[in-house]
Amino acid sequence: DIQMTQSPSSLSASVGDRVTITCRASQSINNYLNWYQQKPGKAPNLLIYAASSLQSGVPSRFSGSGSGTDFTLTISSLQPEDFATYYCQQSYSNPWTFGQGTKVEIK
């Protein structure tokens, strides 16, 4: 199975901050990488697919980049509703695997 490792595991940030979350795959996955946001008690919500394509309805302050083994999710200006846990997920090979999550907390 492809292992997905996110860093950091958690971070504290203020409204308006630029936030960057990193995801590393245990082998090259080209750009078969998705990002999800999850709030407590809710299902994950798709933000980004194919490493950099913004899902319909997702604010443009979210962006994704990377290819191969290293990927980044950036929130350009953190908003109150963005405090949540973020997960990467590879869709390169079965089984689709997720990172362990990055919790974004209020500073």
**Does 86 participate in binding another protein (rule CB under 8 A)?**
no
Six-digit token string for 96: 């689709």
* Binding span for another protein by CB under 8 A among 12-20, 43-51, 59-67, 68-76: 43-51
In angstroms, give the least distance from the CB of 25 to another protein: 15
The residues binding another protein (CB under 8 A) are 1, 30-32, 34, 42-46, 49-50, 53, 55, 87, 89, 91, 94-101
